[in-house]
Amino acid sequence: MPRGSKAIWDRIAAHFIECIRFSKPYESLILPGLIIQRMNVATAYERGVRKGSQETHLIIECWKLMRGQTNIRVSAGISGSDLNGNDNRILQAAIDYVASFGGGTVEIGPGRYTMYDSLHLRSHVNVIGSGEETVLVKAPAAISNLVLDGDYGEEQVTLESPESFKVGHGITVTDDRSGGFHTIVGTILWQDEDVFGVSKPMAGDYMVANNARAASTFPVVSGYHIEGVSIKGLTIEGSKDANPYLTGCRGAGIFLYRGHGTRILNCRVLDYSGDGISFQQSHNVTLEACTCRGNTHLGLHPGSGSESPTIRYCTSEDNGQIGLFLCWRVKFGKFENNKLLDNGVTGISIGHKDTDNTFRNNRCCGNGTQGVLFRNESEPMAAHRNYFEQNDILDNGNDKEGYGVRVLGETKELAFASNRIGNESTRRQQYGFYVGEKAGPLVLANNELLNHIESDVHYENEALNPAI
């Protein structure tokens, strides 16, 4: 029994039932010796305050206490587990079962699990795999054009080639003018010949004239509006050769949307058609000891107002474009002891309102054009007040151009201390610091600049060069 005497908990249960009279019930919860309907806590809280009800406050606090104390553990695996199977359905069943108790832990055993829809994370449910031995494999995607326009707010689509789309599978709907957050990702709920019901309404007008289309693409693991979650020891195989690209604003190998406080530990995302790990509008997210390799676009993608992220001891390598991409409004982050290696274009990219971040002890080497890029933004929107200390930024570039740190736009108040920047094993990095016409000045202290072809420090506007 949770803390407290039986009399206190009996009183709580009685008052809990009393609160249901003025609150909309929506989910079952187990109390000691009693299965009842859980109240809508926010509604009950508001009404309790207006009524001056001490009992309502007591119920809410004890409900929070119970939720934090739950320690149910359920195993899911190929065989010999509490729940046995080899696709997303058995894994989802385990998570949803544990969530029905208010939280706990799901252990996923070794094996290869085919994912026909995302593994949807739930609040206060921790997921633990067996590292490289627990592999979630994205199924090959079905693809079809739409026959009818998918109108904003509509919750169904009509498909030209419906044969491979199935109820329960994930689905993405978009067109050539609806990228980013205007793409929708959901689950197929029902089918009537070539018409499919979708779990989420259309987020735009997907016009047949603009190549409106659907595909069974989705993030392999996803969490929407969650809290109190950690995932550890999962390997994601993205099957990029059998899946079209999914925007990192709506998907990735692992994807969060408003997943505040989520911890992602020792996970691997390989060969996803899109980004490796993406979290959007999610504060205080921690990534530790994760690997993103061979994904077609970005490796690590914090974005759209995700404040105070921590990314450390992660490796992002051989991705198609960028190793670590700070999207929009990423602030007060800590990026430490990471490896951003051999990505197609850029190691670290920083831009729109991405301010007040610290980068320390990272290796940013062998990337296709530049090690670090500050993107072209006007002064109000630029990535000011970022600090780099003790990073290795080496051997970035190609036969035509190469930059250690490239600062564009009207970016200001950047500081670099005790970094190693240059060519060590190649002759590709032409500039150490390349500062655009309206950027800078930079604060540089005790940096080691090595073997650049053109210049260690170059200002397009020499009037902004503090060394002159």
Q: What is the pLDDT along the chain (468 residues), one digit of tens a residue?
A: 444 455 555 555 555 555 444 433 333 333 333 333 333 444 443 444 444 455 555 555 555 545 555 689 999 999 999 999 999 999 999 999 999 999 999 999 999 999 999 999 999 999 999 999 999 999 999 999 999 999 999 999 999 999 999 999 999 999 999 888 999 999 999 999 999 999 999 999 999 999 999 999 999 999 999 999 999 999 999 999 999 999 999 999 999 999 999 999 999 999 999 999 999 999 999 999 999 999 999 999 999 999 999 999 999 999 999 999 999 999 999 999 999 999 999 999 999 999 999 999 999 999 999 999 999 999 999 999 999 999 999 999 999 999 999 999 999 999 999 999 999 999 999 999 999 999 999 999 999 999 999 999 999 988 878 876
Separation CA 294–CA 342 (nearest Å): 10
CA-based nearest residue to 452, from 382, 385, 401: 401
- If asked whether residues 174 and 189 sit together in one domain, one would say yes
Domain boundary among 69, 84, 103: 69
Judge if 418 and 292 occupy the same domain: no
Full-model pTM: 0.86
Q: Which of 271, 174, 175 lies closest to 220, judged by CA?
A: 271
C-alpha 364/C-alpha 345 separation (Å) is: 12
Q: Does one domain contain both 129 and 246?
A: yes
Q: Is the same domain home to 373 and 468?
A: yes
| 225 within some domain | yes
Q: Indicate whether 63 belongs to any domain.
A: yes
| Count of beta carbons in the 10 Å neighbourhood of residue 262 | 23
278 and 355 in a single domain? The answer is no
Q: Do 118 and 234 share a structural domain?
A: yes
Number of domains comprising the chain: 4
C-beta of residue 443 within 8 angstroms of C-beta of residue 416: yes
Three-state DSSP state, 161: coil
Q: What is the Cα–Cα distance from 150 to 157, expressed in whole angstroms?
A: 6
| 154 close to 189: Cβ distance less than 8 angstroms | no
Task: Assess whether 405 and 426 both reside in one domain.
Answer: yes
Residue pair 211/245 in contact by the 8 Å Cβ criterion:
no
Q: Are residues 58 and 96 in the same domain?
A: no
51 with 175, same domain: the answer is: no
CA–CA separation, 194 vs 141, rounded Å? 17
Q: With contact defined as beta carbons under 8 Å apart, do 206 and 175 qualify?
A: yes
Q: What is the DSSP string of 415-463?
A: EEES-EEE-SS-S---EEEEE-TT---EEEES-EEE--SSEEEEESSGG
> What DSSP state is assigned to residue 153?
T
Indicate whether 320 belongs to any domain: no
Residue 374's nearest CA partner among 429, 439, 431, 318 is 439
Distance of CA 322 to the CA centre of its chain: 15
Strands 134-138 and 111-115: parallel
Report pLDDT for 467. Answer: 75
Together in a domain, 125 and 257: yes
Q: Which positions ≥6 away from 6 have C-beta within 8 Å?
A: 32
What pLDDT was estimated at residue 462?
A: 85
Domain boundary among 310, 328, 359: 310
Q: Taking the C-alpha atoms of 116, 121, 127 and 130 in order, what is their torsion angle to the nearest 10 degrees?
A: 30
pLDDT value of residue 61: 53
CATH number of the domain enclosing 180: 2.40.30
Same domain, yes or no: 60 and 77: no
The pLDDT value given to residue 464: 79
Range of the domain at 134: 72-140+220-310
Composition of the chain by helix, strand, coil, percent to 5: 15, 40, 45
Q: Is residue 78 part of a domain?
A: yes
CATH number of the domain enclosing 303 = 2.160.20.10
Q: Is residue 339 part of a domain?
A: no
Check residue 22 and give its pLDDT.
40
Distance, in Å, from the CA atom of 239 to the CA atom of 241, rounded to the nearest integer, reads 6
Domain final position from 151, 181, 215 = 215
Residues 6+ apart with CB under 8 A from 306: 279, 280, 281, 282, 283, 285, 329, 330
Q: Is residue 260 one of the residues assigned to a domain?
A: yes
CA distances from 89 to 114, 362, 415 (A): 9, 39, 49
CA distances from 152 to 24, 173, 184, 201, 213 (A): 29, 11, 11, 7, 14
Any domain includes 404? yes
Q: Are residues 404 and 265 in the same domain?
A: no
- Cα separation of 430 and 371, whole Å? 12
207: CB partners within 8 A, 6+ apart: 149, 175, 177
| 335 is a domain residue | no
